[in-house]
């Protein structure tokens, strides 16, 4: 097993999505081991409650400290990875974080729900990640795309490294335009350079289009790129092609 991931959640069934497509194949091939652990199984409340009203008043319910901490402690006996909480205080998730986490052999994800978690749980959390400045129903909604993004970069999950190294964001750029058959559709043709078989010219075209698309569509990303002399020439060469 290359990577072991435990997900602490109140809704394990939400992660059935990982049984399909690329991640499902990696699970079947024992490249990944993704487990869900139901936090509710660790509550000492006879009614299986895992939440309660907040001290000091306020809207909604708060996930209680006891079942979460006991759940973390139990999982830690089998998984030594960092505990990652999906919450609003964390760093906004991006490809750089995904790369870093994809190198870990063990990870534990904690999914909050309701209005959040008891503050005392933070003592047991190593890292907090957010997917952006908006509200979702629970941490499960954030956890799914994060785990998917991480697992795609684990060796042998995809058919070749090219499958992700040229994708948008991997190197800080949007991906270049791509085409497949037919060569011409309603008088709209595939760029001739892609049909030329000239690998170096195709490489330059792809690089130029990736730079230009990032500049035009995501200037915030483009500002972070250190352009080489070749990059500058390629942008000028292909700006209207």
132 annotated as ligand-binding: yes
Radius of gyration for the chain, computed over Cα atoms and rounded to the nearest angstrom: 23
33 is in an annotated binding site: no
What distance in Å separates the CA atoms of residue 34 and residue 203, rounded to the nearest whole number? Answer: 37
Q: Is 197 within any annotated ligand binding site?
A: no
Q: Is 23 annotated as a binding residue?
A: no
Confirm or deny that 24 is annotated as ligand binding: no
Residues annotated as binding site for S-adenosyl-L-methionine? 112, 131-136
Annotated binding site: 112, 131-136
């Amino acid at each position: 097993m290359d990577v072991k991931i435990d997900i602490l959640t109140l809704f394990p069934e939400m992660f059935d999505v990982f049984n399909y497509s690329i991640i499902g194949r990696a699970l079947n091939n024992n490249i990944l081991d993704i487990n869900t652990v139901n936090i509710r199984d660790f509550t000492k409340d006879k009614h299986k409650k895992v939440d309660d009203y907040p001290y000091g008043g306020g809207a909604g319910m708060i996930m209680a400290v006891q079942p979460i901490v006991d759940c973390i402690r139990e999982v830690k006996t089998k998984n030594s990875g960092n505990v990652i909480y999906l919450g609003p205080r964390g760093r906004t998730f991006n490809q750089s974080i995904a790369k870093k986490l994809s190198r870990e052999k063990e990870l534990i994800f904690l999914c909050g729900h309701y209005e959040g978690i008891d503050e005392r749980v933070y003592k047991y959390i190593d890292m907090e990640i957010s997917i952006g400045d908006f509200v979702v129903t629970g941490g499960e909604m954030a956890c799914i795309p994060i785990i998917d993004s991480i697992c795609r970069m684990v060796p042998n999950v995809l058919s070749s490294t090219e499958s992700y190294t040229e994708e948008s964001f991997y190197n800080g750029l949007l991906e270049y335009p791509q085409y497949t058959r037919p060569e011409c559709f309603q008088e709209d043709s595939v760029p001739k350079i892609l049909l030329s078989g000239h690998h170096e010219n195709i490489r330059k075209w792809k690089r130029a289009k990736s730079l230009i698309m990032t500049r035009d569509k995501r200037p915030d990303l483009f500002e972070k790129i250190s352009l080489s002399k070749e990059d500058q020439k390629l942008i000028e060469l292909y700006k209207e092609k």
